[in-house]
Amino acid sequence: MLSRSTAPAAGQQRAARASFSPLRPPGPIARRRSRCVPRHRRAAAAGDAASGAPALAPAPAAAAAAVASPGTKGGAFDYAAEWWPLAFAADLDREAPNRIMLLGEPLVVWWDGAAWRCFADRCPHRLVPLSEGRINAAKRLECAYHGWEFSGGGSCERVPQGGGGASPRACATAYPARLRQGLLFVRPKPEAGPGAAAADESKIPIVEEFEDPAWVAQDTFRDVAYDWTTLMENVLDASHVPFTHHKSISNRNVIGDYVTTLDGPVTAAGFTGIWPTGPRGGALGPQSGTFRAPAFMHQKIDMREKRGAESMVVVYAVPSSPGRCRILNRNAFRFAKARLPAVVARLVPAFMVHLGTQVPLEDDVIFLHLGEEEYLKARARGQAVGQAYYCPTQADAYVLAFRRWLDDFGGGGPWGSPDAAFLGRIGPRQSRDALLDRYAGHTASCARCQRALRRVRLARRAVGVAAGAAAAAGLLAAAVAVCLAAAAAGGAAGAAGGGAGGAAAAALSALSWFAGAGGAAPGAAAPAAAGAAAARALGWGAAAALLWWLANGALGALESAFYKGQYPPPRNTDKA
């Protein structure tokens, strides 16, 4: 229980609540309904009779039965009824299907030329993943196995082998997908079919501040090898930042108190709270926070008095499968007076933002991955949260509040309570290299980083070719310099050598011209020409060395940054 004596003053609480904007539901949008429902009513009997198949309703979402978890207070929490952000739309590939895991179910996200669509990633024919197919010229999702084609609503528009497309069983399982504030949200329950209900778009967890164009957001994501509950617990905990993220985004030598309190009780909707001192020992301003069930976190620092700005961190913790999740992270700023920082922030290429923000995400991935297993072992032994964790300070107020929500209202999560069975489902612990695999965790799923990586590779090849050409030119100039020096030493004896000597002199003159020595022939000008060729050789050699460094040093390091994170982390390399 939190001590009343440490609670912030009423004025501070009111100020914190005023600086924190509630989540606002979006306005209505027009949408097209799937053609599968009318086709089902119109042609089910004929289609199934023609195929000889029994008339069956479309299969429900595979994950639905596994994601309705009973809480100790109230009824079951239906995780499949929530709107989940899958990706930033700018990071999705419009030319190919995108496979994303949500609540243990593989989904395929694709662009039909007008809107983003989301299906269960299985073809109704032989259940192979549709994400292995393609988006064809007709802007339909085409299965790679037998070429069945599906339109945006899930209807099967073509069966190349003939017949069967009119049956509702030929439809792909389509889920409602909506684009809000640059994020693609999906509700993993079909809107069409028996017992289906229209999705309530007012529940999409958007952020009011992002409706103001003065806010500048830098977005990133990462697929990580720990559970969404571990992620949410971690990002709610502000007291770890100066230590875990020292040198990457914070400073462990500048800290203050961490007296964090809740504004009220933990409810089924979540909770809000305030840290009156705020980070950096109070140098920035108070920090307010919220947890909106089931997986939305928002923390905001009011720096208007001390820095003339506000900053905000928004995190969506998306459950992929037991012990795996996707973090969608938005770091945002609003500058009250200065305009230049916002302009500069908007000019930074997205791939540079992504690479830079992977560092703090990797700062804690190893110990969170390992610590999660220890926590689950303790819970599997029957220990409660307060027995598994020792949390004597109010710095852990949000952490304990989240765990309270999870037990009281969230049923332990979409996979159920953290028991021995859940411990077995998270799988063995991964190696350090696997946890720091940036390509698997981000680059492979990010269209913008894929494009940037292709450009970096192309630039490396081009610069490498230029380095080779410069080296060849340097060798040629060096050879000419040696020959001219030898010719100068030979003097008139070389000129008296007859026809062969004349031919050699002509060839040497031509080479010296290419080498930048002015086409001088052996004679009085040979020493000067040799010096010029030697200088040119040094110049080409320096250019070759610089280009080689650019290709294998700077561009090589940049290419490597798309593939792997660094170890040890920055905090461990700084002795201060």
The 3 state secondary structure assigned to 166-189 is CCHHHCCCEECEEEECCEEEECCC
Q: 199 and 120 share a domain? A: yes
Contacts of 347 (CB under 8 A, 6+ apart): none
In angstroms, the CA 494 to CA 501 distance is: 7
Q: 367 and 488 share a domain? A: no
Asked if residue 53 belongs to a domain, the reply is: no
- Taking CA atoms, 566 is separated from 244, 269, 307, 325, 436, in Å, by 14, 38, 32, 21, 7
Q: 93 and 127 share a domain? A: yes
Contact 176, 191 (CB under 8 A): yes
> Within the chain, what is the greatest distance between any pair of CA atoms?
110
CB atoms within 10 A of CB 512: 28
Q: 514 and 366 share a domain? A: no
Contacts of 565 (CB under 8 A, 6+ apart): 358, 359, 362, 365, 436, 437, 438
Asked if residue 437 belongs to a domain, the reply is: no
Asked if residue 438 belongs to a domain, the reply is: no
Scanning 170-281, the segments in alpha helix (DSSP H) are: 228-236, 241-244
State which residues form the domain around 548: 456-573
| Encoded tokens for 84 | 């989940």
What pLDDT score was predicted for residue 25? 37
Contact 287, 300 (CB under 8 A): yes
What does DSSP assign to residue 117? E
| Polymer length of the chain | 576
In angstroms, the CA 391 to CA 388 distance is: 10
Q: 327 and 461 share a domain? A: no
What are the pLDDT tens digits along the chain (576 aa)?
Answer: 333 333 333 443 333 333 333 333 333 333 444 456 544 333 333 333 333 333 333 333 434 345 666 766 766 899 999 999 999 999 999 999 999 999 999 999 999 999 999 999 999 999 999 999 999 999 999 999 999 999 999 999 999 999 878 899 999 999 999 999 999 999 999 876 665 667 889 999 999 999 999 999 999 999 999 999 999 999 999 999 999 999 999 999 999 899 999 999 999 999 999 999 999 999 999 999 999 999 999 999 999 999 899 999 999 999 999 999 999 999 999 998 778 888 999 999 999 999 999 999 999 999 999 999 999 999 999 999 999 999 999 999 999 999 999 999 999 999 998 989 999 999 999 999 999 999 999 999 999 999 999 999 999 999 999 999 999 988 988 887 788 777 777 664 444 444 445 555 555 565 555 555 555 555 556 677 778 878 888 999 999 999 999 999 999 999 999 999 999 999 999 987
Asked if residue 440 belongs to a domain, the reply is: no
Asked if residue 67 belongs to a domain, the reply is: yes
Contact 61, 80 (CB under 8 A): yes
Asked if residue 563 belongs to a domain, the reply is: yes
Phi, psi at 104, each rounded to 5°: 80, 0
Could you say which of 415, 430, 445 is where a domain stops? 430
Contact 428, 381 (CB under 8 A): no
CB atoms within 10 A of CB 146: 13
Cα of first residue to Cα of last residue in the chain, in angstroms, is 36
Classify the phi-psi angles of 45: left when phi > 0, otherwise alpha if psi is within -120 to 50, otherwise beta: alpha
Q: 494 and 567 share a domain? A: yes
Q: Give the number of C-alpha atoms closer than 13 A to the C-alpha of residue 507, restricted to the C-beta side.
A: 8
What does DSSP assign to residue 356? H
Q: 194 and 228 share a domain? A: no
For tokens 């497309």, the residue is: 165
3-state SS assignment for residue 284: coil
For tokens 């028991």, the residue is: 419
Q: 397 and 274 share a domain? A: yes
The closest alpha carbon to 472, from 434, 514, 520, 513, belongs to 514
CATH number (domain holding residue 272): 3.90.380.10
| Encoded tokens for 350 | 């997205």
Asked if residue 341 belongs to a domain, the reply is: yes
In angstroms, the CA 551 to CA 467 distance is: 8
Asked if residue 293 belongs to a domain, the reply is: yes
Q: 315 and 464 share a domain? A: no
In angstroms, the CA 490 to CA 504 distance is: 13
Q: 124 and 234 share a domain? A: no
Q: 309 and 383 share a domain? A: yes
For tokens 């992929």, the residue is: 320
Per the structure, the count of domains in the chain is 3
What pLDDT score was predicted for residue 29? 34
What pLDDT score was predicted for residue 497? 47
CATH number (domain holding residue 112): 2.102.10.10
In angstroms, the CA 464 to CA 467 distance is: 5
Q: 105 and 137 share a domain? A: yes
3-state SS assignment for residue 343: helix
Could you say which of 155, 185, 203 is where a domain stops? 203
Run of H or E residues at 6: none
Q: Which long-range contacts (CB under 8 A, 24 or more apart) does 209-213 make?
A: 209/21, 209/300, 209/312, 209/332, 209/334, 210/181, 210/330, 210/332, 211/24, 211/181, 212/334
In angstroms, the CA 230 to CA 271 distance is: 18
Could you say which of 203, 218, 236 is where a domain stops? 203
In angstroms, the CA 222 to CA 369 distance is: 14
Within its chain, how far is the Cα of 174 from the centroid? Answer: 24
What pLDDT score was predicted for residue 264? 96
